[in-house]
Amino acid sequence: MRLPGAQRRRALLVTDRARLVAAFVIVASTALLVTYASTWLRLDRINQERSDFAYAYVGGQIWREGHGDKLYDAAVDKAYYDRDVAPNAQVDLPFIDAPTAAPLLAPFTLVDIRTGWRLWSGLQLVLLLAALVIASRSARWQPRTPRDSLLAAALAGAAGAGTYVLAIQGQWSGLLALGLALAHAACSRGRNFIGGALLTVTLLSIKPNFAIGAAVFLVGWRERRLVAGAVAGAAGVVLASLLVAGPAGCLGFLRTVAESTQSWPWSSMNSASGLVASWFGDNGTTATIGLVACLLAATSAYPFGRAVARDISRLDVAFAGAVAATLLASPHLYHHDLTLLAPALVWGTAAASRLDHAATARAGRRGQATMLVFGLWGVFTVVALQQLGAPLIGFPGRLVPWVIGAMLVLALVACRTSQRRRRDRAGLAGLLPADAPTLRPARDG
């Protein structure tokens, strides 16, 4: 048995190292955020008009003027784009978001495109920060974790490569991240019906392609209230879509989604489909193989559902792993979509804090989980910024899918480690007499 004094000294050493790592992460993340903000403030008019928000702006304008059934009519999109955004421009991206997205954008069409872009992208950044705050508060941190570590996780998530593209393009990812954070917070409080509804409403109402991995995660969890909430949320989105666009508009959305598989090079994607195309080129065969690879990647969300079904204390790492699996399984995964990994980083860091504490208490060695999580996130940010946007063909191809895969594997290992640790505790308790005194380790949080 180690002396209490030795244990205290070891705990102080671990805490000091955690604060040193957190300080480095905070400084690096702040520098990146300042760079992103500078670029966002200096973006010129032409790039604002060519951003993804411009085409979403057109969709909001079409719906606001009472033509919801024409949301996916290319000729109508082009006419509105010429009228409200950039006359005589070559439009190459029609309104492709789900019908329920159009009413959310309508208020921003009351101003000109440049003001609307600034307001919308600024709102997405605020929503992302709100998502990170909620994720930090709902995660199960090891008690007495330094506040520096919580701040470092939130800032690192905000400084990911996805945030840069989110701000420039005026995309939706801040709202998506907020929805995921709220779903996790609801499940962490036992409100699984609300959590399931929030999850499906968030994904299906804006980016239905993310629903594949999420559905597999729900199947793995098999919690009745959660599934009921998810079904109710999906039904609500379908009904809302019919109210917004009517049957004709909904059919137009499905047709546009099908046609979109030929509109952008697969090698520009950051999921399993992009990895395949970046190796073997953009063609029909690699597109088919890529879609099969996405379906296979979606199955990796299943063990995370099973893990949380067996032990709710693994909710943080299971949610983080499920997000990684969902992104890897998405046929279309752009850089701005990577923002969804920001709250997952917070949950993963919280789980790592508990694993590090357990390693220190059990074996007297310093835990490495938190450093590994931050290190992998740093690699992810550098790689994603380096391979920004453009199609890549030839070895090594897209590296972002490999890093997301590494995150997925790390989450799986964390789930198994947590399971083994709890099994060891249960076995030890069974060997001791009922009246034997025990040394209780610090609570996991």
- CA dist 368 and 21 (Å) reads 11
Domain assignment present for 4: no
Residue 233 has pLDDT above 80, yes or no: yes
For residue range 67-116, list pLDDT tens digits in order: 989 999 888 888 888 887 776 555 556 788 899 999 999 999 999 888 99
Note the residue count of the chain. 445
- Which of 11-15, 17-21, 269-273 shows the highest mean pLDDT? 269-273
| Residue 393 pLDDT | 76
The mean pLDDT value for 404-422 works out to 83
Domain assignment present for 251: yes
CA gyration radius, the chain: 23
Question: In which domain, by residue range, is 195 found?
Answer: 9-421
- CA dist 240 and 389 (Å) reads 33
Domain assignment present for 431: no
Residue 182 has pLDDT above 80, yes or no: yes
The mean pLDDT value for 202-209 works out to 88
Residue 424 has pLDDT above 60, yes or no: no
Domain assignment present for 434: no
| Residue 342 pLDDT | 96
The mean pLDDT value for 30-37 works out to 94
Domain count, the chain: 1
Residue 327 has pLDDT above 50, yes or no: yes
Please provide the average confidence, as pLDDT, over all residues in the chain. Answer: 85
| Residue 261 pLDDT | 66
Inter-residue contact 319 to 291 (CB < 8 Å): no
Residue 346 has pLDDT above 90, yes or no: yes
- % of the chain residues with pLDDT over 70: 85
Domain assignment present for 26: yes
| Residue 214 pLDDT | 92
| Residue 234 pLDDT | 95
- Which of 258-262, 404-408, 422-426 shows the highest mean pLDDT? 404-408
The sign one gets for the Cα dihedral 309, 310, 316, 321 is negative
Largest CA distance in the chain: 84
Query: What band does 124 get if pLDDT is binned at 50, 70 and 90?
Result: very high
Residue 369 has pLDDT above 50, yes or no: yes
Domain assignment present for 185: yes
Query: What band does 1 get if pLDDT is binned at 50, 70 and 90?
Result: very low
The mean pLDDT value for 57-62 works out to 91
Domain assignment present for 229: yes
Query: What band does 192 get if pLDDT is binned at 50, 70 and 90?
Result: very high
Sequence-distant (6+) residues with CB within 8 A of 288 are: none
- Whether the link from the prior residue into 396 is cis, omega within 30° of 0, is yes
Query: Phi/psi zone of residue 332: left (φ > 0), alpha (ψ -120 to 50 degrees), beta?
Result: beta
Inter-residue contact 325 to 301 (CB < 8 Å): yes
Domain assignment present for 442: no
| Residue 83 pLDDT | 83
Query: What band does 176 get if pLDDT is binned at 50, 70 and 90?
Result: very high
The mean pLDDT value for 173-187 works out to 95
- CA dist 265 and 342 (Å) reads 26
Query: What band does 355 get if pLDDT is binned at 50, 70 and 90?
Result: confident
Residue 165 has pLDDT above 80, yes or no: yes
Residue 322 has pLDDT above 90, yes or no: yes
- CA dist 318 and 302 (Å) reads 10
